[in-house]
Amino acid sequence: AQTVTQSQPEMSVQEAETVTLSCTYDTSESDYYLFWYKQPPSRQMILVIRQEAYKQQNATENRFSVNFQKAAKSFSLKISDSQLGDAAMYFCAYRENSGAGSYQLTFGKGTKLSVIP
């Protein structure tokens, strides 16, 4: 079974600084997706960024970027120029991409990010 591990229950960052959230996963599959979701106090789950395992290039979305290390099964999220609105729970998630596989998301336990003004 696939597992996703976020080893940092809480992190904090100064406004305008950069922070990196860690995520590791375990799978025997070669084709899969990885995601970072943000959950602010409103509880809405918001997709931040996605990475396809067969793409070597790291995904970027404005101030958000990932460091995808497939061999190490590591998928970290970097937030640059942190803003107060970035304060939230961040969840790393995994999904298979095989035709007969499951399409469910497997989530890590989350990292609570605080942004200090």
**Which stretches of the chain bind other proteins, using CB under 8 A?**
33, 35, 37, 42-47, 50, 52, 91, 95, 97, 99, 102-105, 107-110
Residue nearer to other proteins on the CB measure, 85 or 103: 103
Strand partners, 38: 46, 90
Residue nearer to other proteins on the CB measure, 22 or 97: 97
Work out how close the CB of 61 gets to other proteins at its nearest, in angstroms, rounded to a whole number: 12
Work out how close the CB of 5 gets to other proteins at its nearest, in angstroms, rounded to a whole number: 12
CA pair distance 22, 8, nearest whole angstrom: 7
Work out how close the CB of 77 gets to other proteins at its nearest, in angstroms, rounded to a whole number: 16
Residue nearer to other proteins on the CB measure, 34 or 82: 34
